[in-house]
Amino acid sequence: MKNRLLWPWLLLVYGAFFIVFTWPLAAHFSTSFVAVPGPDTSQFFWNAWHFREAVLSGHNPLFTDWLFYPKGSSLVMHAYTPLIGVLSLLLGNEMLAINTALLLSYTLSGTGAYLLARRWVKSPLLALLAGFVFAYSPYKLQRLPEHYNLVLTATVPFYVLLFLRAFTFREGQFLPLARSWRAVAGCVALGFVTLLSDYYVLFGLIYFSLAYAAWFWFRLGRIQWRRWPAWAWLVGILVVSHVLIRLLHLAGLKDNGIWWGGDLVAYLLPPPTSRLVYWDWAARLAHNPKVFNLPGSIENTLFIGYALPLLALVLGIMRLARRRPASARALDVQGRPLAWVLVFFLLLTVPSLRVLGHERLNLPTALLHFVPFFNNIRCPTRWIMMVGLLLPIVSFSALEAAWQGRLRPAGQAALTGLLAAIILAEFWPRPYPRQSTANIPAVYDEVAKLPGTTLIPIPLGILDGNRQVGHLEAGEMFYQTLHRKKLPVGYLSRVSPALFALLDQDAVLRPLLRLQTNPDTVQPAPPTARQLQAFFHQYDPAAFVISPAYRDQPIHAYLRQLLQPYGYREQLVGGYVLLAPPAQ
């Protein structure tokens, strides 16, 4: 196929999979988005809305007082996805921006992986399958309706392509030679774009670069694995790392992420989004607290299918038994380190080798979780994303070496088709739920009509990726984009300790949180009239809204008694209680 036709064809093929997997999203592309109930989905929609809102109003988009009002919070350490925010600014529609960003990311991820695979894989069909595996791995399909930032991987294969074009590495030399400064500039540009997408994906590029360079720094290609000293060294390294990490724990040093590491059984466990292979035994195992620290969590996903790992295992054994020649990748100086980089990312997913919930061995990669800054990457299972890029390339190049002289072209095509059918069946997702403004409870339409600066939602809650105080309703940040009232609470990836103290320091919100959390406790003393007036002056509440689950509970009675002397009107709207001040 001519080069000028290749890109449109690839974009069409990989884009078609997105349309099919998310249907009927394409029929409502600007009025709905793929979402599951939960704070993460609301957060990412809020990101796009807030970025556009801040820029159009002339405010700093990296700071907000729409949450944690009146103090506000920086968004620098938040999973903000400003790339989608820019699209929202350009398109003028948050839902259209989100859907466009996701479509482009999945499509370009597949296209880039195809082009990367073609460096060592001769068969266009196998390369096409390699692109599909990276773009639509179960990890990414499960994340699609919840963690938009983690599926923005379009830059990854293109970065690897430019990285290989940019540098020449020499064994034993720390600094590489720059082959193309244009490619170096391309790597920097792609790194910046990735920074605007997600820091996990950005660290994927960083870790790839370091692991690739380490192959040459430490002359890993010269290790003679058929001789016992190599294995003795490996055992020694594993023993030392295991003991060292145990000593660090005994010394009271806290890691940030080993607890989140994967279990080896998770590689065999399909996610619940799989339409055809999520069987009953998988559901029982996924929710077993004896196996997983977070039963049923999306963070446990390490599944990459059965066919591809089994193929890699068989081809590896064949190579060790000298039953197949070296692959085109293994014969290429630039391609040779990819198998090592693949192993490196596999090790990252299980920093503490865990089998059915039992930790057997602390691996050297666990040391990263004690290193400041690097230990902010606290969910090691997310590195399965890079396995989805490298495993197909390594495996399919080896497959072509194995079938050389054994299978005719027709047999090769048939085997490729069978492999593709199995992988497609393993990856095929269930229908995704969608969200739109039509799903926002009617009470927030009423709030939007009211004067005032803030909305006080019941229940109250502040949370981030490490801590939670109280409880925040899953859709609260999504609802804010309709009622446009600021909130004294919120959910960001990182929240400062001062903001967590916010509820405890407020004379009005503190007793509400206490009653919400412990409804059977003795009713707290109400704030004084002066404290309540100060609260009204500071927050200028448009309304208090009580969720149906808290209606007719002690917190409802307390609020009614507290606000009634000030003329607040109570109204039931779609199961929600709306408490609004008297009209001015």
> Could you read off the pLDDT of 244-280 as tens digits, one per residue?
999 999 998 888 889 899 999 999 999 999 999 999 9
Beta carbons within 10 angstroms of residue 393's beta carbon: 29
DSSP code per residue over 347-405: HHH-SEEEETTEEEEE-GGGGGGGSTTGGG---GGGGHHHHHHHHHHHHHHHHHHHHTT
Residue 519 — very low, low, confident or very high, per pLDDT cuts 50/70/90?
confident
Residues 6+ apart with CB under 8 A from 106: 14, 15, 17, 18, 135, 136, 140, 151
What is the per-residue pLDDT for 4? 73
pLDDT at 255: 87
Task: Determine the pLDDT at residue 40.
Answer: 84
Label residue 1 by pLDDT band (50, 70, 90): low
- Identify which has the larger pLDDT, 77 or 402: 402
Nearest Cα neighbor of 85 from 113, 111, 59, 112 is 59
Binned at pLDDT 50, 70 and 90, residue 2 comes out as low
CB 47 within 8 A of CB 83: no
Confirm whether pTM is higher than 0.85: yes
Rg, C-alpha atoms of the chain: 27
In 10 A of CB 427, how many CB atoms? 25
Mean pLDDT for the chain overall: 94
pLDDT given at position 119: 97
Which residues on neighbouring strands pair with residue 573, listed in sequence order? 576
DSSP at 27 = G
**What pLDDT shows up at residue 584?**
62
CA distance 471 to 458: 9
382: Cβ–Cβ under 8 A, 6 or more apart, which residues? 139, 150, 200, 299
SS3 letters for 37-57?
A: CCHHHHHHHHHHHHHHHHHHC
Q: What is the pLDDT of residues 394-443, one digit of tens each?
A: 999 999 999 998 999 999 999 999 999 999 999 999 999 999 999 999 99
- Residues 378-400 have a mean pLDDT of 97
Given this model, what pLDDT does residue 149 score? 94
SS3 label, residue 274: strand
Mean pLDDT of 480-487: 96
